[in-house]
């Protein structure tokens, strides 16, 4: 069983239905807020995925969770959650083991940056032990108003668009084509402030994004397809991740 303990937090794989239920409750709180009508964020993909829980060691409080689906290669890309929203035919030729990471969230009352570090440390353990060669998923901006994130989208356009060989194409009916339609020059400080922490981490490791964002009204998010080839992670960043996961 995957287990990682660092400082105040521990990360582990969900072991039973109660663990998954706890993750679904946290996801609902993080994505829909306390005023939401639903008590759980759950879908059919939960049964197809493994779930990682990050907990406060002293209290057992669940402070972060995410799920992941393992694919044997790009030929299985249609199984992915992301395939509902993006046309991913370009990834069919990817030959290595892949993981789709999704529903990543941190409890809204917890802001300790070590939580994100421990979550990535746990994922690093799995990647190393299972020879994973690509991570991918949907990276979400809160809300569906793209005007709040124009500097972030402009920076993505200028620096982080996917290489043409892997570029996702438009599939969803409602999208913001920021790469082709946004003419704004980014304020880099505002761009970093508006960038979701998970996406910021992907980008620091050499990740890339789709050239458009999907407007997901059901989840009340804007999201971009995000990919990261493990071989592209800078050596210094790999050392930091492995130091956390050791």
| Structural domains of the chain, with CATH | 3-245 (3.40.630.30)
Residue 105 in 3-state DSSP? strand
Residue 155 pLDDT > 70: yes
Do you know the residue count of the chain? 246
Average pLDDT, the chain: 93
Can you read off the two tokens belonging to residue 71?
């694919």
pLDDT given for residue 236 in this prediction? 85
pLDDT given for residue 54 in this prediction? 97
Query: CB neighbours of 150 closer than 8 A, spacing ≥ 6?
Result: 182, 184
User: pLDDT confidence of 241, banded at 50, 70, 90?
Assistant: confident
Residue 15 pLDDT > 80: yes
pLDDT given for residue 246 in this prediction? 64
- Upper half-sphere CA count for residue 92 (Cβ side, 13 Å): 8
Distance CA 10, CA 3 (A): 7
Residue 243 pLDDT > 90: no
- Upper half-sphere CA count for residue 85 (Cβ side, 13 Å): 24
- As a whole number, mean pLDDT of residues 6-17 equals 94
pLDDT given for residue 238 in this prediction? 79
């Amino acid at each position: 069983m995957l287990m990682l303990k660092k400082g105040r937090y521990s990360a582990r794989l969900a072991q039973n239905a109660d663990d998954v239920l706890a993750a679904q409750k946290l996801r609902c709180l993080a994505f829909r807020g306390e005023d939401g009508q639903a008590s759980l964020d759950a879908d059919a993909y939960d049964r197809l995925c493994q779930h990682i829980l990050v907990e406060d060691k002293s209290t057992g409080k669940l402070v972060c969770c995410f799920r992941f689906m393992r694919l044997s290669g790009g030929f299985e890309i249609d199984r992915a959650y992301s395939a509902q929203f993006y046309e991913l035919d370009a990834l069919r030729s990817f030959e290595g083991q892949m993981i789709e990471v999704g529903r990543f969230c941190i409890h809204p009352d917890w802001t300790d940056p070590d939580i994100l570090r421990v979550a990535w440390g746990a994922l690093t353990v799995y990647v190393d032990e299972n020879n994973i060669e690509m991570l991918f998923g949907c990276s979400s901006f809160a809300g569906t108003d793209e005007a709040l994130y124009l500097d972030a989208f402009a920076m993505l356009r200028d620096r982080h668009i996917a290489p043409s060989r892997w570029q996702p194409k438009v599939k969803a009916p409602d999208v913001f084509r920021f790469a082709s339609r946004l003419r704004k020059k980014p304020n880099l400080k505002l761009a970093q402030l508006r960038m979701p922490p998970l996406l910021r981490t992907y980008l620091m490791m050499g990740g890339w994004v789709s050239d458009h964002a999907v407007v997901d009204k059901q989840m009340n998010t804007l999201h971009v397809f995000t990919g990261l080839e493990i071989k592209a992670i800078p050596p210094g960043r790999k050392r930091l991740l492995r130091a956390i996961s050791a």
